[in-house]
Chain A
Amino acid sequence: MCSLAAKASEAMRLGDFKAAIELLKRLVKQDPQPRWRDMLADAYAGRARSLAAKGMFDEAETALNKTAAADGTVREPLLYVQCLAKRGQLGKAFQHAVKYIGTDKVPAESAARMAELTAALWLVAPVRVDAQADPNSELGQWAQSAAAAQQGLAAWVEGKPEHEIEPLLSRIPMRSAFRPLRLILKSLITAPTDPARARQLLDGIGRQSPFACWRDAVAATLPDEAQEPPTNAASPSRAQCLFAAEVKGLSASGSQLLAEFVKAERSGAAALMSFLISHAAALPATEAKSACFNLLPRAPDRLRQFESSFGNLAEFDRARILALAAEAANNWERAEEQWCVAAKATERSADPDSRLMAGVIYRHVAWLAETHPEIAGGDTSLSIDYLECSLRADPDHLPAVLKLIGLYRSEGQDKDWHRLAEDAAQRFPQQSAILLQAVDSAIARKAYKKAVGFARRILAIDPINQAVRQRMIELQISHARKQARSKRADLAWKELANAAEWERPDDPSGRLCVNQGLVAWELGNAADAEARLRRGVELVGGGVVGWFFASVEHARMKGGAASGAVLREELVRAQKTVAPAKQEILSAALAISGREIIEARKEIAPLVFRIRGWLLQGASLAWSAAEIHPVCEMLQLAGAYDLLADYARLALLRTPDDASWKLYRAMARVKGDAERLSVREEDELMDLVEDAEARKDFHAANRVQRFLDSVPDFPKGAASRSARRGSSANGIGSVDDIEERFIAQLLAMTLEETPPEMVERLVAKLGRERAISAVLERLRRTPVGELFPVENIRRVAEEMVNTVCGQTSKSVA
């Protein structure tokens, strides 16, 4: 039962009222408590709202009927009355609405609208309200206002003079629901003498009011319309036209013409054009031509008729009309073709705006080519061509320049990218967005001095531009890293000093500080180095995250053994100090994200093994799918598929249906090699893609699809699958490769710290057996000892002693 209630609540929360209704019906059947009945009524009301929003008023009314209380009132009274009104049941709507007068059953936010709707419904079909109503009750007062409103309206319709209508209007209280009627009638009798006052009175009626249509009709009859532009000038309703004709006293022929106009307008553009052309003599010529010209894109088959009546169109106008018509018909190829004709015609024109206009058209076609695959089949080069044309016509259009630079970059057209970025930096010297592109371009073509120049220009315009500061710091660190790798620590130090110039005093860079520490170490300044390193580690988050980050930087610059040893010790110590939290693991994952890191993954992958115990503890945390992706990507990058399997296994215990975890479970099993997926796994992953697409989770779908796409011939079937299974993973994809290399590295480092001379001295001093124990103890304090069982370490110690004693053992392979 609890489960049903929980599911129903969740369905309500998600707006799935249909499901909620089904669940609650079952719940009410099992346990007919009032609270479940209430909840069921809420679900019906929610369902009614969603049906009404789709225009399904019959169904919405039926749903609301299910919420009816014993007195006939429903959950959403306004919506119910609106549904009845939309279905044309105005009398029934009023009969229902009147039940709420003087009650508090209408929510406060819809009370005013309900009151005006009730008043309008009554004016349309007046019925006797309640003869027994107490005149002092709210219903009684409403009935008095209604009677006054009706008398006022009748007086106006009958053509009574102002002095007779005024007293009737004053009987309609301004706080009553009939206030809009009072304002309209007052406006109408004021209009001949004071149109401004008449318009002001109309402003008191809201746009959502049922009286708004009448209000607009009155406004259209007032002189000096220029005060407010006629926003709905093109679509007066038949009633509005009739009202205007009656109030303005149009002649019989004028009324007839107006009625034909309204009819033609409702019949579509072609009919309207025919009307305008056939009555051209009775209409102002320029306006008629302009109206027909603007109707042509919706009635392109009337082009010939237009030209025979008003003369031939210019080439540009004709092409533009055909292009707009093609767009309206979703014929994108034709639209492209016609826009190009229009653009070429513009370019030939002597109009001073012609180049700008050509730019507008080419930009539009570039956008069409990008958004409608029918034009270019998804090929971006056509968009690029059109944007290039647009810039030739209008080179000062900044968004087009930025867009084209972006496209050049994404399409790998580096030469064009650099050329445009350079030109744009000269054309737009004060635009930081352009200068930032110029910085990127200069960095990409290794023109570092230029990059620095552009960056300085950005900071002159925008001194707090963090993006450019960050980019310059990264650039200098990257240089320093290269120098450090070539064992030119002095030059690396200089680069880092340059990088420090880009730092803001209030926002020091942890990465810079860590790198300064590492380089200082190489320069032999251990005390300063350690201080900087520790400060940098704190700045990037401290603890395991900080030391892991420093280790990554150390690996990337191929730092020395001394600093490496300190980092190892600190990383081990940090792992023992604090249990991992989600945020820390995520920070560690983010420390090795990014393209540069992926390029250095061979150096970095073993570092992940150094924190594997810590990461393993984190597997039991309650990760959500959104949180875990960076972590899983880190494990994948490092080839730590056993850890990835643990994360996926524990997560699937918590959320067995989660698509992400199923993906990572499969990925871990095949060690990142999609070619090794079994048929069942491939099918399961394909199902995941389809499910994700069905619920519009395109990120999840793409993630799974990317993995599947790494199989060269996927999804062509099983024929090639067996062949695929035979192949092994490349690069560092295999965990075995990684582990072997990692163990070799660790052993080498360990043996460096326990040289043969030392072992020889131990043997001479303590004898073979005690020397083995001493070496064993020493090894257990090293990273190797941290990672491996004591039996294995003992065998390494025995081998080391045996080697020194001149004995060979086959036991250690």
Chain B
Amino acid sequence: MSDPFSTLGVGEDADDDQIKQRYLSLVRLFPPDREPQRFQAYRAAYEALSDQRKRLETKVLGTRDAALGPIKSHLLAPSKPVCARASKTTVTALLIDGIDRSCGQDGTA
């Protein structure tokens, strides 16, 4: 499972109440009937953080790949408002990535 702290978007020092509030707000934003996959991910993350022992297990026995997130955000910090355009080449590359990923889902091609 991916890092439950970053899945829920909470800090490692968040307490039971903060985690629960965050989880409930996410479930309200992405209800299970509309976003079942996303809901499952949030649910699993919440289960993993729902009490102090589980949070300690997650912290001690796991690693946080998502710790790179803030670095990425820093590198992507805009120097001007978001209104510039991407090149056709970049859009094509994104589409090719997307085609490739979509062809490798569901255990089939």
Q: Indicate, yes or no, whether A interacts with B.
A: yes
**B76 to chain A: closest CB distance in Å?**
5
Which of B26, B84, B106 has the most chain A CB atoms closer than 10 A to its own CB? B84
- Closest B-chain residue to A255, C-beta based? B75
Q: Does A209 contact B (CB under 8 A)?
A: yes
- Closest B-chain residue to A81, C-beta based? B103
**B8 to chain A: closest CB distance in Å?**
6
Q: Are the CB atoms of A248 and B108 closer together than 8 Å?
A: no
Q: Does A482 contact B (CB under 8 A)?
A: no
Q: Are the CB atoms of A124 and B95 closer together than 8 Å?
A: yes
**Inter-chain contacts of B56 with A (CB < 8 A):** 353, 356-357, 360
Q: Does A644 contact B (CB under 8 A)?
A: no
Q: Does B69 contact A (CB under 8 A)?
A: yes
- Which of these binds chain B: A213-221, A465-473, A770-778? A213-221
**B22 to chain A: closest CB distance in Å?**
9
**B67 to chain A: closest CB distance in Å?**
4
Q: Are the CB atoms of A243 and B109 closer together than 8 Å?
A: no
Given A250-B76, A291-B71, A360-B53, A217 and B105 touching (CB < 8 A)? no
Q: Does A276 contact B (CB under 8 A)?
A: yes
Contact of A356 among B26, B53, B90, B99 (CB under 8 A): B53
- Which of these binds chain B: A230-238, A409-417, A790-798? A230-238
Q: How far is the CA of A207 from the CA of B29 in the complex (A)?
A: 17
Q: Are the CB atoms of B103 and A234 closer together than 8 Å?
A: no
**Inter-chain contacts of B86 with A (CB < 8 A):** 157, 242-243, 246-247
Q: Are the CB atoms of A192 and B101 closer together than 8 Å?
A: no
- Closest A-chain residue to B53, C-beta based? A356
Q: How far is the CA of A240 from the CA of B29 in the complex (A)?
A: 25
Q: Does B14 contact A (CB under 8 A)?
A: no
Q: Are the CB atoms of A233 and B95 closer together than 8 Å?
A: no
Q: Are the CB atoms of B41 and A231 closer together than 8 Å?
A: yes
Q: Are the CB atoms of A117 and B102 closer together than 8 Å?
A: yes
List B residues 47-90 near A (Cβ within 8 Å).
Answer: 52-53, 56-57, 60-61, 63-88, 90
Q: What per-residue 1/0 map shows which CB atoms of A643-672 lie under 8 Å from chain B? A: 000000000000000000000000000000
Q: Are the CB atoms of A258 and B76 closer together than 8 Å?
A: yes
Q: Does B18 contact A (CB under 8 A)?
A: no
Q: Are the CB atoms of A239 and B93 closer together than 8 Å?
A: yes
Q: How far is the CA of A357 from the CA of B103 in the complex (A)?
A: 43
- Closest B-chain residue to A215, C-beta based? B98
Q: Are the CB atoms of A57 and B109 closer together than 8 Å?
A: yes
Q: What per-residue 1/0 map shows which CB atoms of A197-239 lie under 8 Å from chain B? A: 0000001000111111110010011110111111101101111
Given A86-B104, A229-B6, A248-B84, A294 and B67 touching (CB < 8 A)? yes
Q: Are the CB atoms of A283 and B99 closer together than 8 Å?
A: no
**Inter-chain contacts of A556 with B (CB < 8 A):** none
Given A124-B92, A239-B93, A353-B56, A192 and B83 touching (CB < 8 A)? yes
Q: Are the CB atoms of A233 and B69 closer together than 8 Å?
A: yes
- Closest A-chain residue to B83, C-beta based? A192
**Inter-chain contacts of B109 with A (CB < 8 A):** 52-53, 57, 60, 79, 82-83, 86
**Inter-chain contacts of B66 with A (CB < 8 A):** 230, 233-234
* Contact count A vs B, C-beta below 8 Å: 225
Q: Does A320 contact B (CB under 8 A)?
A: yes
Q: Are the CB atoms of B9 and A229 closer together than 8 Å?
A: yes
- Closest B-chain residue to A296, C-beta based? B63
Which secondary structure characterizes the binding site on chain A? Answer: helix
Given A52-B109, A243-B86, A254-B75, A124 and B96 touching (CB < 8 A)? yes
Q: How far is the CA of A77 from the CA of B81 in the complex (A)?
A: 44
Q: Are the CB atoms of A283 and B57 closer together than 8 Å?
A: no
Q: Are the CB atoms of B6 and A231 closer together than 8 Å?
A: yes
**B71 to chain A: closest CB distance in Å?**
5
Q: Does A288 contact B (CB under 8 A)?
A: yes
Q: Does B16 contact A (CB under 8 A)?
A: no
**Inter-chain contacts of A290 with B (CB < 8 A):** 64, 67, 70
Q: Does A307 contact B (CB under 8 A)?
A: no
Q: Does A270 contact B (CB under 8 A)?
A: no
Q: Does A159 contact B (CB under 8 A)?
A: yes
**Inter-chain contacts of B26 with A (CB < 8 A):** 229
Q: What per-residue 1/0 map shows which CB atoms of A377-411 lie under 8 Å from chain B? A: 00000000000000000100100000000000000
**B53 to chain A: closest CB distance in Å?**
6
**B55 to chain A: closest CB distance in Å?**
9
Q: How far is the CA of A159 from the CA of B85 in the complex (A)?
A: 6
- Closest B-chain residue to A232, C-beta based? B2
Q: How far is the CA of A158 from the CA of B78 in the complex (A)?
A: 20
Q: Are the CB atoms of A157 and B85 closer together than 8 Å?
A: yes
Q: Are the CB atoms of A239 and B97 closer together than 8 Å?
A: yes
- Closest B-chain residue to A180, C-beta based? B98
Q: Does A191 contact B (CB under 8 A)?
A: yes
Q: Does A789 contact B (CB under 8 A)?
A: no
Q: Does A555 contact B (CB under 8 A)?
A: no
**B44 to chain A: closest CB distance in Å?**
12
**Inter-chain contacts of B30 with A (CB < 8 A):** 228
Contact of A230 among B6, B79, B82 (CB under 8 A): B6
**Inter-chain contacts of A257 with B (CB < 8 A):** 75
Given A158-B85, A248-B84, A120 and B98 touching (CB < 8 A)? yes
**Inter-chain contacts of B101 with A (CB < 8 A):** 210, 212-213
Q: Are the CB atoms of A52 and B79 closer together than 8 Å?
A: no
Q: How far is the CA of A342 from the CA of B82 in the complex (A)?
A: 47
Q: How far is the CA of A320 from the CA of B59 in the complex (A)?
A: 11
List A residues 262-302 near B (Cβ within 8 Å).
Answer: 265, 272, 276, 283-284, 287-288, 290-291, 293-294, 297-298
**Inter-chain contacts of B68 with A (CB < 8 A):** 233-234, 265, 272, 291, 294
**Inter-chain contacts of B98 with A (CB < 8 A):** 120, 209-214
Q: Are the CB atoms of B81 and A192 closer together than 8 Å?
A: yes
Contact of A85 among B41, B75, B80, B99 (CB under 8 A): B99
**A362 to chain B: closest CB distance in Å?**
11
Q: How far is the CA of A383 from the CA of B71 in the complex (A)?
A: 41
Q: How far is the CA of A588 from the CA of B103 in the complex (A)?
A: 56
Q: Are the CB atoms of A86 and B103 closer together than 8 Å?
A: yes
- Closest B-chain residue to A286, C-beta based? B70
Q: Does B100 contact A (CB under 8 A)?
A: yes
Given A213-B94, A231-B7, A233-B69, A245 and B76 touching (CB < 8 A)? yes
**B66 to chain A: closest CB distance in Å?**
5
**Inter-chain contacts of A121 with B (CB < 8 A):** 99
**A332 to chain B: closest CB distance in Å?**
14
**Inter-chain contacts of B87 with A (CB < 8 A):** 157, 246
Q: How far is the CA of A156 from the CA of B83 in the complex (A)?
A: 11
Which of B64, B65, B76 has the most chain A CB atoms closer than 10 A to its own CB? B76
**Inter-chain contacts of B85 with A (CB < 8 A):** 156-159, 246-247
**Inter-chain contacts of B103 with A (CB < 8 A):** 82-83, 85-86, 117
Q: How far is the CA of A83 from the CA of B79 in the complex (A)?
A: 41
Q: How far is the CA of A208 from the CA of B107 in the complex (A)?
A: 12
Q: Does A513 contact B (CB under 8 A)?
A: no
**A532 to chain B: closest CB distance in Å?**
51
Q: Are the CB atoms of B82 and A226 closer together than 8 Å?
A: no
Q: Are the CB atoms of A247 and B79 closer together than 8 Å?
A: no
Q: Does A800 contact B (CB under 8 A)?
A: no
**Inter-chain contacts of A156 with B (CB < 8 A):** 85
**Inter-chain contacts of A124 with B (CB < 8 A):** 92, 95-96, 99
Return 10 A-B CB contacts under 8 Å, by A number. A79-B109, A86-B109, A90-B96, A157-B85, A211-B98, A213-B101, A233-B68, A233-B73, A248-B76, A249-B78
Known A-B contacts: A124-B96, A221-B76, A251-B79. Give 11 more (CB < 8 A). A55-B104, A86-B104, A113-B102, A209-B98, A210-B99, A240-B94, A246-B86, A247-B86, A249-B84, A258-B75, A356-B52
Residues of B whose CB lies within 8 Å of any CB of A are 2, 6-9, 26, 29-30, 35, 37, 41, 52-53, 56-57, 60-61, 63-88, 90-109
Would you list the 10 A-B pairs with minimal beta carbon distance, nearest first?
A: A229-B9, A213-B98, A233-B69, A239-B93, A52-B109, A82-B109, A248-B78, A82-B103, A287-B70, A294-B67
